[in-house]
Chains A and B, each alone.
Chain A
Amino acid sequence: MMFSKDGVTMDLLNICNINKSYDKNQVLNNVSLNLKKGEVISIIGPSGSGKSTLLRCISGLEHMDSGLIKFNGITIAEANKKFNNNDVINACKKIGMVFQNFNLFPHKTVLNNIIEAPIIVNNINKKDAIDIAKKLLIKVDLLDKISAYPCTLSGGQKQRIAIARCLAMNPELILFDEPTSALDPKLVSEVLKVIKGLADDKISLLVVTHEMQFAREISDKVIFMENGEILETSTPELLFSNPKHTRIKQFLNLD
């Protein structure tokens, strides 16, 4: 745990009042959110509510119109500013992301998918990178696929490799952008099991998901988003059984 001077647990991630619109369509409306080290937060809500865009702003894939994002106390993103200094680059390396469509590198084997970034970004030597990769493959239960190409894997296997690839960079925070939405229903559980393992390992997670039961099980906090706004932030017990907003009740079919 990190502590600030006054002894209060420091946030790993602070999102302050971010706004984002595409043309005239406001996708993020004054969104703020804090995540502590080791915390698991799930974001739920209907499609088009801005959940994915929020994650993409954190990972630097989208620029914001206003607001700022801090990671470990360092400002990593701010509207209309470009950061190129080493502090920010190193901070961003500690944020991993797993995509809905896996985005594995099709021209590389499973092993090379995992070791490429540690070698060329973190300058780890190849032998160590391979050792790490093997451990991660055991963790996601896919060591037998080490020499396979992604095209030969099932969706669930691809996503587990994508998670292993992300873990190889030793992230402090992992952003999951609907990690099971592109999967065959019967392959969902194998991926959720791996993500659950990460939560048990106390890695901070921010998970956009449509799997309500899963969100309820793994999260410390659940956020409901709609129309680019956070409608409610609460513990999973409260939000799933007795949300304040009727809109959330409708969404969860509680009425």
Chain B
Amino acid sequence: MANFIDSTAYILQGSIFTIELYIATIIFSIPLGIIGALIKVSSFKILSKIVDIYTWLFRGTPLLLQLFFTYFGLPIIGIRFSPFTAAALTFSLNYGAYFTEIFRSGIQSIDKGQYEAAKVLGMSYRQTMSKIILPQAFKRIIPPTCNEGITLIKDTALVAAIGLQDILRAAREIVTRDFTITPFFIAAIIYLLFTSLIVLAFKKLEKKYSVYE
């Protein structure tokens, strides 16, 4: 039993890192996604093309490969990051690309009559976006954003590849040391707890916005 508690404590220590990376990624990737989406629906052709290339690149290659590139590749040209910074940067850029596409599709799903109504009421493009379009798009992107939020928790396990101590790596260390697979179950339960929290939070959000439609 003592062994079980020790294992759990050790794995939970790994989860601190998972949470830190999760929060850092959310803080940077969501604004990145909003900016990317607004550029994509705007009439800035060149900027929009650049965002196209960005999402193409980051959605089209494995996250693990991107992580290797940031951590092992960039030092070749003299750019060095700590493992955590490398992970946070790569994850933010990768998730920012997905969020860009999710938010873009959310914005573009709003009926064109809404833009027209705002226009004939004299609203500027900025007012139309901030008061009419984005609040409605927000409701529609809650479910796909929740999906990404869940995937992100699980993707954090990839950072073991650059030597960081997350939930899964902590669990695996105990497995190899003690020849028992209990730590995997503990890890699974911790992941489930985290993902359930995310789902619950998004359900609350969805409910809050279900007052209309």
Contact = CB atoms under 8 A, between A and B. Distances in A.
A120 B118 CA distance: 11
A105 interface: yes
A96 B131 CA distance: 19
Contact of B121 (A89, A107, A117): A117
Contacts of A96: 120-121
A106 to B, nearest CB: 5
Q: Is the interface of B mostly helix, strand, loop or mixed?
A: helix
B73 interface: no
Contact of B123 (A104, A120, A151, A166): A120
Contact of A120 (B111, B127, B211, B212): B127
Interface string B94-124: 0000000000000000010110111111110
B198 interface: no
B211 A149 contact: yes
A107 B116 contact: no
B212 A151 contact: yes
Nearest to B137: A107
Interface centre among B117, B120, B211 (most CB of A within 10 A): B120
A106 B123 contact: no
A99 B112 CA distance: 12
Say which size band chain A's interface belongs to: 20 to 34
A93 interface: yes
A92 B117 contact: no
Interface in A152-173: 165-166, 169
Contacts of B116: 61, 99, 103
Nearest to B130: A120
A60 B213 contact: no
A169 B122 contact: yes
A157 B121 CA distance: 19
A60 to B, nearest CB: 7
Contacts of B48: none
B212 A103 contact: no
A223 interface: no
B144 interface: no
A120 B127 CA distance: 8
A115 B174 CA distance: 62
B25 to A, nearest CB: 28
Contacts of A149: 211-212
B136 interface: yes
Nearest to B117: A103
B62 interface: no
Contacts of A93: 122
Contacts of A106: 136, 212-213
Nearest to A117: B121
Interface string A164-204: 01100100000000000000000000000000000000000
A61 B212 contact: no
Contacts of B122: 89, 92-93, 117, 121-122, 169
Contacts of A105: 114, 117, 132, 136
27 contacts: A59-B119, A59-B120, A60-B120, A61-B120, A89-B122, A95-B120, A96-B120, A96-B121, A97-B120, A99-B117, A103-B117, A104-B117, A105-B114, A105-B136, A106-B136, A106-B212, A106-B213, A107-B139, A117-B118, A117-B122, A117-B123, A120-B123, A120-B127, A121-B122, A122-B122, A166-B120, A166-B121
Interface of B: 111, 113-114, 116-123, 127, 131-132, 135-136, 139, 211-213
